[in-house]
């Protein structure tokens, strides 16, 4: 029997009742020293084996452990292999550990289970946006986040200037539109901010620790920073757009319009946008839809679209005449 088989046999026996090392050794025809070695390996892998010394002592598992199923059912197996597929290519820093876990799952599955898992695994694939390799930095950021360690980092701004050195309390990591973001308290600015991980040139741990604010969500903070006016006491402008359902569905799936949707009716959607987004970003996103949609209100957004279209038409008219 292999080492893994011996460990599973010991685990199976301990789920039944408390056993001494001598009892385990006799039943498995192993030495007591080997039993202790396999018990140590089980503990290192995360199995909570307890040892009681003295008369009536021995090795045992906690009661709640025996209530949980030892093996994954078909639905759990499917979910695990497909979740691993989602992680691959996203920059997830523990992809190799994930692959080892899936390999173990497959190793201890019978032929029927293995064939079913491989069918589900091959039937779902993901396309991730190409991004800069950030695996090593992501792993360090995740470790500092989990251990509440303040870090020092070198950060490059989008303008390509000289990297600045900052001390950060990392609160959480968020994957959004193919980019990883780290949200935390910036000691330099004295406020919570979000940073693109691909712009972090280097990370160094410190011995300082921090306390993460109770209930803080890095995802919600990042979303709020991407949607100006959300959660703030600002005047929002009502935007009413009419179109076919397919076009409205596509529009409402966009990160800005999806999160600012207020009402949806057949052939029409109502959004609440702040003025900064309304006149800087929204027109350029709506322009490619052309006549497939109609902006009912506000009139100022129609005028903005008209001005942009006229400017583009003039630009390309001049280019063709050269």
Q: Are residues 147 and 171 in the same domain?
A: yes
- Within-domain flag for 130: no
Q: Are residues 117 and 142 in the same domain?
A: no
Q: Are residues 181 and 245 in the same domain?
A: no
- Within-domain flag for 322: no
- Within-domain flag for 228: no
For position 299, what pLDDT does the model report? 94
Task: Reduce the DSSP state of residue 80 to 3 states and report it.
Answer: helix
Residues 36-55, mean pLDDT to the nearest whole number: 81
Q: Are residues 145 and 214 in the same domain?
A: yes
- Within-domain flag for 129: no
Total tally of structural domains belonging to the chain = 4
E strands within 100-178? 149-155, 164-176
Note the pLDDT tens digit of each residue in 106-128.
Answer: 877 778 888 888 888 888 777 76
C-alpha 86/C-alpha 123 separation (Å) is 12
Identify the residue whose tokens are 């968020």: 174
Q: Of 187, 220, 253, which residue sits at a domain end?
A: 220
| Long-range CB contacts (within 8 A, 24+) of 35-44 | 35/10, 38/3, 38/6, 38/7, 38/10, 39/10, 41/3, 41/7, 42/7, 42/10, 42/11
- Within-domain flag for 47: yes
Token code pair at residue 300: 């100022």
Q: Are residues 147 and 201 in the same domain?
A: yes
- Within-domain flag for 267: yes
Q: Are residues 139 and 216 in the same domain?
A: yes
C-alpha 92/C-alpha 296 separation (Å) is 43
Is the four-CA dihedral 97, 98, 100, 104 of positive or negative sign? Answer: positive
C-alpha 102/C-alpha 95 separation (Å) is 11
Quote the longest CA-to-CA distance of the chain.
Answer: 100
Secondary element (H or E) of residue 200: strand 200-209
Note the pLDDT tens digit of each residue in 98-110.
Answer: 888 888 888 777 7
For position 279, what pLDDT does the model report? 86
CATH of the domain at 23: 1.10.10.10
Note the pLDDT tens digit of each residue in 284-303.
Answer: 999 999 999 999 999 999 99
Residues 56-72, mean pLDDT to the nearest whole number: 69
Note the pLDDT tens digit of each residue in 128-181.
Answer: 666 566 788 999 999 999 999 999 999 987 656 678 899 999 999 998 877 899
C-alpha 197/C-alpha 132 separation (Å) is 9
Q: Are residues 102 and 32 in the same domain?
A: no
Residues 53-65, mean pLDDT to the nearest whole number: 78
Q: Of 122, 146, 161, which residue sits at a domain end?
A: 122
The helix/strand count (H/E) of the chain reads as 14, 11
C-alpha 193/C-alpha 154 separation (Å) is 15
Q: Are residues 79 and 63 in the same domain?
A: no
Q: Are residues 61 and 84 in the same domain?
A: no
User: Residue 285 belongs to what domain range?
Assistant: 236-317
Q: Of 28, 43, 67, which residue sits at a domain end?
A: 67
Q: Are residues 117 and 184 in the same domain?
A: no
């Amino acid at each position: 029997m292999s080492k893994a088989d011996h460990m599973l046999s010991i685990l199976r026996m301990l789920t039944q009742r408390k056993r001494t090392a001598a009892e385990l050794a006799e039943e498995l025809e192993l030495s007591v020293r080997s039993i202790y070695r396999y018990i140590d390996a089980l503990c290192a892998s995360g199995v909570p084996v307890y040892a009681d010394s003295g008369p009536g002592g021995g090795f045992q598992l906690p009661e709640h452990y025996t209530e949980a199923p030892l093996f994954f059912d078909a639905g759990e197996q499917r979910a695990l292999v497909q979740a691993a597929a989602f992680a691959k290519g996203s920059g997830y820093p523990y992809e190799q550990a994930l692959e080892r876990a899936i390999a173990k799952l497959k190793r201890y599955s019978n032929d029927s289970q293995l064939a079913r898992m491989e069918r589900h695994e091959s039937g779902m694939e993901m396309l991730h946006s190409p991004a800069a390799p950030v695996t090593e930095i992501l792993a360090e950021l995740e470790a500092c986040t989990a251990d509440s360690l303040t870090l020092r980092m070198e950060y490059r701004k989008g303008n390509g200037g000289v990297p600045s050195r900052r001390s950060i309390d990392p609160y959480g990591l968020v994957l959004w539109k193919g980019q990883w973001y780290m949200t935390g308290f910036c000691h330099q600015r004295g406020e919570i901010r979000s940073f693109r991980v691909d712009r972090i040139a280097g990370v160094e741990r410190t011995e300082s620790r921090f306390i993460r604010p109770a209930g803080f969500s890095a995802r919600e903070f990042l979303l709020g920073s991407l949607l100006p006016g959300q959660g703030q006491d600002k005047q929002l402008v009502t935007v009413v757009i009419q179109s076919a359902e397919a076009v409205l569905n596509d529009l409402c799936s966009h990160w800005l319009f999806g999160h600012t949707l207020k009402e949806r009716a057949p052939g029409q959607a109502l959004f609440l946008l702040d003025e900064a987004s309304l006149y800087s970003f929204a027109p350029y996103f709506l322009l490619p839809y052309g006549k497939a949609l109609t902006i009912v209100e506000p009139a100022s957004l129609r005028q903005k679209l008209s001005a942009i279209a006229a400017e583009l038409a003039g630009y390309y008219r001049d280019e063709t005449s050269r």
